[in-house]
Amino acid sequence: MKVAVIGAGSTYTPELVSGLSRERHRFDVSELVLHDIDAQRLEVVGGLAQRMLARQAFEGALVLTGELDRALEGADVVLIQIRVGGQAARLSDETVPLACGCIGQETTGAGGFRKALRTVPVVLDIARRARELAAPGSWIVDFTNPVGIVTRALLDDGHRAIGLCNVAIGFERAMAPMLGVEPERLVVDQVGLNHLTWVRAVWLDERDVLPELLAGHGDELAEMAGGLPRRLLDELGAVPSYYLRYFYSHDEVLAEQLGGATPRATTVAEIERELLAMYADPALASKPALLEQRGGAFYSEAATRLVASLATGDGAVHVVDTRNGATIAGLAQDDVVEVPARVGGEGAVPLAQRPLGPELLGLVAHVAAYERLAVQAAVSGSRSVALKALLAHPLVGQWGKVEPLLDGLLDATAGARA
C-alpha cells in the first residue's frame, strides 16, 4: 500500500514514519511519500526519517516531494497534519482574542474558530484533489486541528475520512502504569467532541476500573486534566480532558493570559527550532527526548495503529472522530463526535454509549451547534454565519464582543495568508 503524509515537515513525522515501518509485519507499506510546501523543513525532517528507516531495514520506497499530485497519486491512505500559517498564525490565535476579553487558544473558542476559517478550505482542496488522484476506496486520516471541525467538513464534502486526536492514548499510557498493566489491555471510554471529552470508564478485561483509578490516583489524573480540582473529578465521576479547563476554570485561565503568561505558541516555536537543529545532525537516527515536550504525545503511535486497522480490517478499538449516528443521545446524527469505535476496512463503528448526564450534554450540545456553524462559515465565507458561530460558542457568546472580535480575527487571518 501507499501512504501519503501531507504536512510532513512537522516535527512529529520521524516518529510516525518509524511507527509505520515497525508495523510492516501487519501491513506492507510499499511506498511512503512525505509532502510539505516548506522544502527546507521537508529536507531536514525527511533526512532524519530516512536514517531511522535505514536503521529499521525498511524495504519500501521513501519519497520526499513538494508536489501534491505526486504525493496523492495512487495513495491508499492520506494522512493530513498541516498547520496553515505555521506557528506565527498559532501565536495570533492565542493572542488576538485577548483584546476582546476572550480566551486565546488554538483549537477552541475564538482562536480555534480563526484557525478553522483558514484551515478548512485548504484541507478540502487537498481532499478534493485526493478524490481525483488517490486509489479507489482510499482513506483520509485527519490530525489537523481543530480536528472535529475539519473532520466534519471532510465528511460533509463526501470524503472517506476519520479524525484522530492524541488525548485518549495519552490517558491510556498514563493509566496503564497506575494499574500495573500493559497499555494495550485498556480501552479508554472517552466521549464527547474533539477537545471536549470526558473519560467515563476505563475497561480492563471488560471491567470498569475508573472508580479505583480515581480513588487511588485522583490527584494525578486531575493534574493531567490541566490542574482542575480533584473534587471536580470526584463529583463528575469522570476525568475531563485538558481542554475542559478553558470552560471549568475560565476566569482563572483568562486572568493568566491577560496577565502576560507566555503563550504556548511561543514555547512550541522554540522547541521546534531546537528539534529541527537536532534533526539536521546526520549522526541522529532516533527520536530525541525533547520531542516529548512538543505536545501531541503518542500521536504517531495512535496514527500508526489506526492506519493498521483501516488496512487490515482488524476491528480494533480506537478513539476517533466520526459521525454520531445514534451514539450520543441528544446530538444530531450528522454531528461529529469523539468516541471509542471498532475500526475496520469500512471505517469506524462507534461503541454504544450510555446517555450523557445533563451536566455534560448541555455543554456538548452547545459546542456542537457552534461547530456546525463554524464549518458553514469556513466553507461559505459568510460574515453572517461567522457572527452566529462566535455567538454560539460558550467561550464568546456576547453580542457586544462578537463583531469587533470577528474583525480582529479576519484581519489577522488576512495577514497570515498574505
What residues are annotated to the active site?
243
Closest listed residue to residue 359, CA positions, set 138, 139, 200 = 200
Q: 288 by DSSP, 3-state: which?
A: coil
Structural element, H or E, at residue 338: strand 336-344
Sign of the torsion formed by the C-alpha atoms of 168, 371, 145 and 21: positive
In the Cβ-directed half-sphere of 379, how many Cα atoms lie within 13 Å? 15
Cell digits of residue 237:
465521576
Q: Residue 203 corresponds to which cell in the numbers above?
A: 475497561
Total residue length of the chain: 418
Convert 181-196 to b/e letters by CB count within 10 Å (16 or more is b): eebeebbbbbbbbbbb
Distance CA 328, CA 147 (A): 18
Tell me the C-alpha to C-alpha distance, in Å, between residue 147 and each of 21, 156, 273, 288.
Answer: 25, 14, 25, 26
